[in-house]
Amino acid sequence: MTRAVGIVGGGHTQWGRREATWKDMAQEAGKAAFDAVPDVGPEDVEGLFVGAVQPERFAFQSHVAPLVAELLGIDVDAMIARTELACASGQAALRYAWLAIAAGQLDTALVLGVEKMNLPKSASEEAQASMTNVLDREFDGVNGLNAPPYFAMIAQRHMHEYGTTREQLAQVSAKNKNHAVHTDYAQFRDEVSVDDVLESFPLSPPLCLYDCSGVTDGAAGLILMSEEKAREVTDEATWIAGSGQSCMASNSINNLPSLSAWPQATEAAESAYDDAGIDDPLREIDVAEIHDCFSISEIVEYEDLGWVEKGEGGQFAEDGRSELDGDIGVNPRGGLLGCGHPLGATGVSQALEIHDQFRGDVPEERRVPDPETGLIHNLSGSGSVHSVMVMERERP
């Protein structure tokens, strides 16, 4: 029998192009998390889980989980790990902490996601080259296939098969960037129109600059507790109701099952929905933070998370059904397009946003009306792995 697990609070650093080091941001996010939950301190933490993708190349540092323990003054006596799953590293850390508490291995965990991606000018070529490591460097990376051209192929194929339009992609970007205007830690906080997206610099056709998430420095932290401990410190915990993950034995581009669909997302979502007792996600999910690393990603995810039929994602965006007052309020903090995408921190930040939405602790301009059920989603690598988690405002 597993135990209920609650998120009791968390915090962010500022996101963007930072002068701060990897260690600085780890300390900032750790302090912000503890400040958000005054009754929990470093001495209470039994498990520490750190999501970080490439500190070895971006910050020239490995063995980062013990480093974080030292920086934050945590004597870990039950479980410590660094998780690396490309863009899903933060959600992987969150998932492992949840499972450890649910299994009774510990009662209190700190989850931290940290990424330092902007290097000094002299090292900028290495920073860009590092991004190809997320794909199969020997086969895909050597041919120049990093994130923008890969997602451009997804967009081209989706447009070819289903008639998705350039304007529908831009609708996603404009929506999310305008949400980020009201997010104090976001990297990009300028209002953007659909025309602004369409007229931005062509990067990898059909994707333009504003269709792409940023290269971002940032960190975020969460404190998780068993139900018994959580109720001692708050009556507004967010409860993890289900989780799913899928990888269909593919990593290289040539082995992916499709260039217009991610069946892994469908499988992961169905597993999480089953855990949480969700039969109709479009009606039962109120708020979602999904992986909009590129505008096309969000459109494909509307479909493959089971909200609309295949090929209807573009129309879902065009009709405003993913707006704050639509069927599901999607990416109210601004998503990756607006907030930026510090790889290891993104999944942690998404979960914190759901928690804050449940508490009503977000600006009114981007608040989803009375949410009860939330979802976070991350893809990683070439979309070969998808991770989904469902959260509830009330104890499941």
As a three-state string, the secondary structure of 249-313 is: CCCCHHHCCCCCCCHHHHHHHHHHHHHHCCCCHHHHCCEEECCCCEHHHHHHHHHHCCCCCCCCH
| Predicted pLDDT at 182 | 98
- CATH class, range 5-121+216-233: alpha beta
| Predicted pLDDT at 128 | 67
- Whole-angstrom distance, CA of residue 369 vs CA of residue 362: 11
| DSSP β-ladder status, 218-226 and 108-115 | antiparallel
Q: Assess whether 212 carries a catalytic annotation.
A: no
- Whole-angstrom distance, CA of residue 157 vs CA of residue 287: 28
CB 172 within 8 A of CB 295: yes
CA distances from 205 to 55, 109, 134, 166, 172 (A): 31, 43, 21, 10, 16
Sign of the Cα torsion 141, 143, 145, 146 reads: positive
Mind listing the pLDDT tens digit for each residue in 234-285? Answer: 999 999 999 999 998 777 888 888 999 999 999 999 999 999 999 999 999 9
| Predicted pLDDT at 146 | 83
At residue 349, the 3 state secondary structure works out as helix
Q: Among the options 291, 341, 377, 386, which is catalytic?
A: 341
Residue with tokens 């080091």: 21
CA distances from 42 to 75, 153, 337 (A): 8, 46, 33
Q: Assess whether 341 carries a catalytic annotation.
A: yes
For the chain, list residues with pLDDT below 70.
1, 121-128
**Does this model's pTM top 0.85?**
yes
| Predicted pLDDT at 250 | 75
- Whole-angstrom distance, CA of residue 19 vs CA of residue 36: 24
Phi and psi angles of residue 200, each rounded to the nearest 5 degrees, phi first = -75, 170
| Predicted pLDDT at 105 | 97
What is the greatest pairwise CA distance in the chain? 56
Q: Among the options 87, 208, 212, 339, which is catalytic?
A: 87
Please give the sequence-ordered ranges of beta strands (E in DSSP) within the chain, or none if there are none: 5-12, 47-51, 79-83, 108-115, 202-204, 207-208, 218-226, 238-247, 287-289, 329-330, 373-380, 385-392
